[in-house]
């Protein structure tokens, strides 16, 4: 027999008095309060994968299946839901003790797995908290809209290791967190504090259409300012994962829009991609970075940017803006 989710029906032995414990655990993992469904054992949450404004993630704790009716994320086990949320080893063990099943093996704080800080709160949930208001004001000054907050699941931390910071997560093509940036809203000496995992990821990959021209920039605020098909490098250099993806996807057109203090790094990328027969456009900024320009001005600059030629590249080299030849390692 199959469930309406399309999975074989497997009933989980859940004692009545443990139902509340399972719901409490899922509330903590999913970051919100559950809503009871009409059907026995079925509950709904706001989906953390697509951040839809209605509670469309339905979980049946008796059949151990879950499904979001908006983004179509689903699974046949509560353990896969915890895995998708990068739950802690303790949370896996807690669930195993409640449903009488063995939790999946969890690597001891494997640094490949990225987790948002425990203190993270999504900014699309309105709050009377004074820091929330300060963070919202900061984002507004940076040109971040309510739609941007919803799309990128931007949040904040008032306390903890990332205190006084807005958090901008990055998700891979499967909707899994692969990196996040923490920006201090009070401009402390250490403005940025990011996830401790590698930067060798494809930033904002979830929103990238590889069949269209892509824009490369340094940081997440720059990418959000461009609004569409822009990948933040989380620095001034392009790393192997993104290089590999660009070649694999046969991207035909790239706009390179690094900050004005990264001319040399930009020209290295121009040369790399031109050697792979990719049309490259070297975007010359009139401000320090794309986020300073804002969306409308940035779009105008991109539209006016001509295709780079080898003669243009040689002219830059001869003028003193040297580039070191780098092989595109795949």
Instruction: Identify the CATH number of the domain in which residue 142 sits.
Output: 3.40.1360.10
Mean pLDDT to the nearest integer, 186-200: 86
State whether 169 and 305 are in the same domain: yes
Q: CA 176 from chain center: how many Å? A: 8
CATH of the domain at 92: 3.90.580.10
Q: Over 50: is that where the pLDDT of 231 sits? A: yes
Element (DSSP H or E) covering residue 141: helix 130-141
pLDDT at 212: 93
At residue 13 the predicted structure's pLDDT band, cuts being 50, 70 and 90, is: very low
Instruction: Work out the mean pLDDT of the chain and round it to a whole number.
Output: 81
Two tokens, residue 183: 């920006």
pTM, two decimal places? 0.62
Nearest alpha carbon to residue 32 among 60, 55, 16: 55
Nearest alpha carbon to residue 80 among 98, 95, 97: 95
State whether 277 and 160 are in the same domain: yes
Q: What percent of the chain has pLDDT over 70?
A: 83
Nearest alpha carbon to residue 284 among 273, 268, 298, 274: 298
State whether 162 and 233 are in the same domain: yes
Beta bridge partners of residue 35, listed in sequence order: 44
Mean pLDDT to the nearest integer, 24-39: 84
- Residue 107 is assigned to a structural domain of this protein: no
Chain segment 240-254, per-residue pLDDT in tens: 999 999 999 999 999
Two tokens, residue 147: 């739609």
**Coil vs helix vs strand at 265:** helix
pLDDT at 105: 43
- Residue 133 is assigned to a structural domain of this protein: yes
pLDDT at 87: 83
> What's the angle, vertex CA 291, arms to CA 217 and CA 181, rounded to 5?
65
- Residue 184 is assigned to a structural domain of this protein: yes
What is the torsional sign of CA 294, 49, 191, 137? positive
Question: 203, 223 in Cβ contact below 8 A?
Answer: yes
The total of structural domains in the chain comes to 2
Containing domain of residue 58, as a range?
A: 16-99
pLDDT at 327: 36
pLDDT at 263: 80
pLDDT at 295: 62
Q: Over 70: is that where the pLDDT of 320 sits? A: no
- Residue 66 is assigned to a structural domain of this protein: yes
pLDDT at 190: 87
pLDDT at 106: 37
- Residue 73 is assigned to a structural domain of this protein: yes
Rounded to an integer, what distance in angstroms lies between the CA atom of residue 180 and that of residue 45?
Answer: 23
Dump the DSSP string for 119-183: T-EETTS----HHHHHHHHHHHHTT--HHHHHHHT-EEESSSTTTTEEEEEEE-TTS-EEEEEEE
State whether 129 and 261 are in the same domain: yes
Residue with tokens 């009070």: 186
State whether 21 and 142 are in the same domain: no
Rounded to an integer, what distance in angstroms lies between the CA atom of residue 95 and that of residue 87?
Answer: 11
State whether 94 and 138 are in the same domain: no
Q: Over 80: is that where the pLDDT of 160 sits? A: yes
- Residue 9 is assigned to a structural domain of this protein: no
- Cβ partners under 8 Å of residue 105, min gap 6: none
State whether 179 and 270 are in the same domain: yes
């Amino acid at each position: 027999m199959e469930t309406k989710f399309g999975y074989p029906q497997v009933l989980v032995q859940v004692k009545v008095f443990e139902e509340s414990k399972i719901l409490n655990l899922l509330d903590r993992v999913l970051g919100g309060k559950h809503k009871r469904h009409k059907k026995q054992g079925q509950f709904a949450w706001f989906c953390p994968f697509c951040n839809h404004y209605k509670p469309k993630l339905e979980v049946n704790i008796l059949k151990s299946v879950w499904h979001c009716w908006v983004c179509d994320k689903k699974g046949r086990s509560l353990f896969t839901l915890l895995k998708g949320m990068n739950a802690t080893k303790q949370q896996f063990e807690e669930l195993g003790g409640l449903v009488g099943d063995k939790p999946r093996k969890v690597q001891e704080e494997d640094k490949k797995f990225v987790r948002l800080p425990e203190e993270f709160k999504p900014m699309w949930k309105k709050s009377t908290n004074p820091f929330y208001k300060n963070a919202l004001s900061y984002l507004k000054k940076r040109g971040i809209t309510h739609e941007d907050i919803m799309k990128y699941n931007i949040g904040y931390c008032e306390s903890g290791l990332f205190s006084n910071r807005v958090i901008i997560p990055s998700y891979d093509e499967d909707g899994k967190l692969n990196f996040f940036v923490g920006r201090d809203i009070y401009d402390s000496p250490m403005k940025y504090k990011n996830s401790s995992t590698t930067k060798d990821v494809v930033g904002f990959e979830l929103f990238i259409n590889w069949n269209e021209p892509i824009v490369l920039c340094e940081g997440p605020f720059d990418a959000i300012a461009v609004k569409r098909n822009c990948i933040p490098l989380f620095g001034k250099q392009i790393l192997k994962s993104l290089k590999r993806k660009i070649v694999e996807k046969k991207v035909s057109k790239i706009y390179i829009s690094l900050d004005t203090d990264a001319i040399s790094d930009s020209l290295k990328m121009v040369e790399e991609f031109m050697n792979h027969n990719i049309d490259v456009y070297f975007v010359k900024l009139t401000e320090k970075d794309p986020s300073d320009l804002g969306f409308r001005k940035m779009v105008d600059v991109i539209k006016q940017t001509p295709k780079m030629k080898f003669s243009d590249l040689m002219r830059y080299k001869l003028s003193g803006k040297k580039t070191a030849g780098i092989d595109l390692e795949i």
